[in-house]
C-alpha cells in the first residue's frame, strides 16, 4: 500500500458522518439561532451540511422537488407541510426507539405531540419550539410619541393610534409580501372569531363558520388595516418589515415571535425599546406553530440522523436556540427563567390557552383537520 493510499484510507475513516439539513432560516436572528443546533450537533463529532434556502416557500419547493426525484435530504425543517410527507411513512427514518429511550412522549405538550405523530403511533417529525403568531410589535418611542402608554387592546384603539402615528410621520403598520398579508388575515380572524368557529373555518372549511359574523368582521378589520400599510410592502421580506419597527420608521407590526430574533440581534430590549403585545382582541389567546424536522430514510439506519434528532430534542440546545429565535422551547421541562418577558408570557399563555380551549394552530399542525388550507 502506498503512503498516499494509506493517507486516503485514514482520512476517510476519520471523515465525520454528515447530515444534509435543508431549512429556511436565513435572517440574522434565524441564522444565529440555528447556529446553536449546529454547534451542539458538531460537538458530537458529526458534520452538518447546511442547505439554507431563503423563504419558506422556496425551501418547500426545493424539498418537494428533491423528494420527488428520489434525492431527499437527510433532514428538513418543516412546519405546515408536515402532513404531506407524513402520508407515506415508509420514506421516513424510524425515530421510535430513540423517542422511547429519551422519553419524548412525556415532555411534549399534547397538541404538539399530536402534530409530531400526525395522528399515527410513530413520530414523523421532531419539534423544537413553539412560536406565538398573534403578536403585535410596537416601537416604544413611537408609542410615547403619539401620547399612548399601553398597546391597543381592540382594533378600534389600534386604528386611533395608527391615525396618530401617520400624523406623526410614521408608517402605521409595517407589512411584508403576500405570505405575510395572508398571515396577517389569519391572526385578525383569530381575533374576531370565537376559537371553535375559527377552527371550523380554517381546519374544516365549514360553510357556516366561513360565513359567520366573526369572519365578516375579520374582513372589515383587514380592509381597514391595509389602508395603514405603505405601497412598498408587496416586495418586502418579513425581517425587513421588522427592521421598520426596530428603527422607528413604522409604528407597529403583526408578526410571529420569530420577529424577536431580529430585535435581539439589534440589541433591543422588550418594554424599553419595543413592546410585544397580543394582537388586539386576542388577550391571552395563543395561536401557535411549532418548527420541526423530518428525517428521510436512505436505506440503512443512520447514526448521524439519530444523533441530530437527539440534539434537536436536547433541553439545553432547545433553550439556546429559542433564546435567539424568539420562540420558546417545546419541551415542557425546559427552563424559561432566562427568557425575556415576551417569551415568558408566550409560554404562560400557551399553557393556559391549552387549558381554556382558546389555543389554535396552523391547520396543517392538526391531524384532525379535515380540509386543510395552507395558511400558516
The residue ranges that bind ligand BGC (CB under 6 A) are: 24, 30, 56, 79, 131, 238, 258, 289, 291
Please state, in angstroms and as integers, the Cα–Cα distance from residue 325 to each residue in 35, 152, 171, following that order: 10, 25, 26
Buried b (16+ CB within 10 A) or exposed e, 112-128: bbbbbbbeeeebbbbbb
Q: How far is the CB of 189 from ligand BGC (least distance, A)?
A: 17
Closest CB to ligand BGC among residues 130, 188: 130
Going by C-alpha positions, the residue among 276, 280, 142 that lies closest to residue 222 is 280
Nearer to ligand BGC, 165 or 323 (CB): 323
Nearer to ligand BGC, 24 or 202 (CB): 24
Non-local CB neighbours of 77 within 8 Å, separated by 6+ positions: 21, 22, 23, 24, 25, 59, 291, 292, 293
Minimum Å gap between C-beta 32 and ligand BGC is 12
Q: Least CB distance from residue 220 to ligand BGC, whole Å?
A: 27
Burial 313-340 (b: 16+ CB within 10 A, else e): bbeebbbbbbbbbbbbbbbeebebeebb
Nearer to ligand BGC, 24 or 48 (CB): 24
Q: How far is the CB of 80 from ligand BGC (least distance, A)?
A: 7
CB of 148 to ligand BGC, least distance (A): 29
| Residue with smallest beta-carbon separation from ligand BGC | 258
Residue number with CB closer to ligand BGC (77 or 305) = 77
CB of 23 to ligand BGC, least distance (A): 9
Start-end of H helices in 236-333: 238-246, 259-265, 303-312, 315-325
**CB nearer to ligand BGC: pick between 197 and 242:** 242
* Nearest CB to ligand BGC, comparing residues 28 and 94: 28
Please report how close the Cβ of residue 141 comes to ligand BGC at its closest, in angstroms. 26
User: Containing H/E element for 267?
Assistant: none
**Which CA distances in Å does 372 have to 87, 123, 195, 217?**
14, 21, 17, 22
Distance CA 132, CA 27 (A): 18
Amino acid at each position: 500500500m502506498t503512503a498516499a493510499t494509506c493517507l486516503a484510507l485514514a482520512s476517510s475513516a476519520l471523515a465525520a458522518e454528515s447530515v444534509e439539513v435543508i431549512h429556511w432560516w436565513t435572517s440574522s436572528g434565524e441564522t444565529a439561532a440555528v447556529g446553536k443546533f449546529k454547534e451542539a450537533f458538531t460537538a458530537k463529532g458529526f458534520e452538518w451540511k447546511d442547505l439554507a434556502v431563503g423563504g419558506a416557500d422556496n425551501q418547500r419547493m426545493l424539498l418537494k422537488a428533491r423528494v420527488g426525484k428520489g434525492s431527499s435530504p437527510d433532514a428538513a425543517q418543516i412546519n405546515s407541510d408536515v402532513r404531506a410527507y407524513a402520508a407515506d411513512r415508509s420514506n421516513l427514518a424510524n425515530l421510535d426507539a430513540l423517542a422511547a429511550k429519551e422519553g419524548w412522549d412525556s415532555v411534549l405538550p399534547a397538541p404538539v405531540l399530536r402534530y409530531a405523530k400526525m395522528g399515527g403511533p410513530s413520530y414523523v417529525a421532531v419539534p423544537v419550539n413553539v412560536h406565538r403568531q398573534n403578536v403585535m410589535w410596537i416601537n416604544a418611542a413611537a408609542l410615547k410619541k403619539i401620547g399612548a402608554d399601553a398597546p391597543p387592546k381592540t382594533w378600534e384603539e389600534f386604528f386611533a393610534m395608527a391615525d396618530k402615528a401617520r400624523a406623526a410621520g410614521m408608517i402605521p403598520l409595517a407589512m411584508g409580501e403576500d405570505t405575510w398579508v395572508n398571515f396577517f388575515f389569519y391572526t385578525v380572524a383569530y381575533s374576531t372569531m370565537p376559537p371553535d368557529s375559527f377552527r371550523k373555518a380554517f381546519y374544516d372549511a365549514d360553510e357556516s363558520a366561513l360565513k359567520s359574523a366573526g369572519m365578516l368582521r375579520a374582513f372589515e378589520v383587514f380592509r381597514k388595516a391595509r389602508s395603514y400599510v405603505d405601497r412598498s410592502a408587496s416586495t418586502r421580506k418579513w425581517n425587513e418589515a421588522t427592521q421598520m419597527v426596530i428603527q422607528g420608521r413604522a409604528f407597529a407590526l403583526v408578526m410571529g415571535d420569530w420577529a424577536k430574533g431580529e430585535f435581539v440581534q439589534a440589541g433591543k430590549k422588550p418594554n424599553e425599546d419595543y413592546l410585544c403585545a397580543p394582537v388586539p382582541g386576542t388577550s391571552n389567546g395563543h395561536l401557535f406553530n411549532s418548527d420541526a424536522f423530518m428525517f428521510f430514510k436512505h436505506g440503512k439506519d443512520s447514526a448521524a440522523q439519530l444523533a441530530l434528532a437527539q440534539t434537536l430534542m436536547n433541553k439545553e440546545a432547545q433553550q439556546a436556540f429559542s433564546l435567539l429565535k424568539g420562540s420558546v422551547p417545546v419541551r415542557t421541562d425546559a427552563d424559561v427563567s432566562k427568557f425575556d418577558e415576551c417569551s415568558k408570557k408566550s409560554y404562560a399563555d400557551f399553557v393556559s390557552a391549552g387549558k381554556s380551549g382558546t389555543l389554535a394552530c396552523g391547520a396543517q399542525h392538526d391531524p384532525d383537520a379535515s380540509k386543510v388550507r395552507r395558511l400558516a
